[in-house]
Amino acid sequence: MNLDRSFPLFPLAVAAVSELVAVWCLFRLWRRRSPIRVKLFWSLVLIVPVFGPLLFGALGRPLPPNPDHAQAPFDLTRHDPSDLPTHAPEPPPL
């Protein structure tokens, strides 16, 4: 029995990957600050395999890179080395 003829794996794999992308998009969509009607509309669109994530990617507003609460309060890549301690702090007395 030839597996390729009895069970088409490629369309199933495309649909599975599409739904994984849709779930990720739904998770990100519901975490951002948007009106509920926008979230419901895009949730219904994302349910459609393959075309839903494509439409969301093409027509949906881009997702922010990081939610507001996940951003660092300052730039961690820029620091003055003189601000760093030169020795380890003393341990507290017992």
- The pLDDT assigned to 1 comes to 47
* 86 domain-assigned: no
Each residue's pLDDT, cut to its tens digit, for the chain (94 residues) gives 455 565 678 888 888 999 999 999 999 888 888 889 989 999 999 999 889 999 998 888 766 555 555 555 555 566 566 666 667 777 788 7
Q: Which domain holds residue 12?
A: 3-65
* Separation between Cα atoms, residue 36 and residue 42, nearest integer Å: 10
* 78 domain-assigned: no
Helices (H), the chain: 3-6, 9-31, 36-47, 51-59
* 51 domain-assigned: yes
HSE-CB for 9 with a 13 A CA cutoff? 3
Full-model pTM: 0.56
Per the structure, how many domains does the chain have? Answer: 1
- Read off the tokens for 15: 């649909």
* 13 domain-assigned: yes
* 77 domain-assigned: no
* 12 domain-assigned: yes
* Separation between Cα atoms, residue 14 and residue 49, nearest integer Å: 9
How would DSSP label each residue in 71-93?
S-SS-TT---GGGS-SSPPPPPP
